[in-house]
Amino acid sequence: MGVMNRFMNFIGLQDEEEVVEREVLDEPVESPPLDHRKNIKGNNVVSIHSQKNVKVVLVEPRSYDEAQEIADHLRSFRSVVVNLQRVRNDQALRIIDFLSGTVYALSGGISKVGGNIFLCTPDTVEIQGSISEILLDEQDYNRMR
């Protein structure tokens, strides 16, 4: 195998070709299912290509009844941006309470990204940083004008 092929294999752009030597056995032996998260040494390694179809769902619910659909997206490991500007404040509070419980049960995260806009993520997605500082800076800037 050439140096270029090894480099392409290392960064995950090319599948590694394996040479397999097989012995003829009397009985066929089932191989255990391959786990792409484990390497030969047994260390936990997550493949870069493990989440090829990462989706972010944008939802603008109009009633509390749509909260379960949002939870279903989270259960399917999709991040959801929830815009609660079209529901009454009491309905919005109930939706956020429901989604907070869902996110907690799934070990995910929930973060406010704007006025009545929330980002809900499953445990496979990590939220870093805070937008509240940016919003405060913008409010200070508007007061100074």
What tokens were used for 112?
């406010």
Q: Give the C-alpha distances (Å, rounded to integers) separating 103 from 34, 122, 124.
A: 30, 7, 12
67-75 and 89-105 are packed helices; what angle lies between their axes, rounded to 10 degrees? Answer: 20
**64 or 18, which is more confident?**
64
Q: What is the predicted pLDDT for the residue at 125?
A: 86
pTM of the model: 0.56
| Residue 65 near residue 41 (C-beta atoms within 8 A) | no
Strands 109-114 and 79-83: unpaired
Closest CA to 59 of 68, 49, 51, 70: 70
Q: Which residue has the higher pLDDT, 48 or 128?
A: 128
Q: What percent of the chain has pLDDT over 70?
A: 54
Find tokens 């940083």 and name the residue: 129
The phi and psi torsions of 120 (rounded to 5 degrees) equal -110, 130
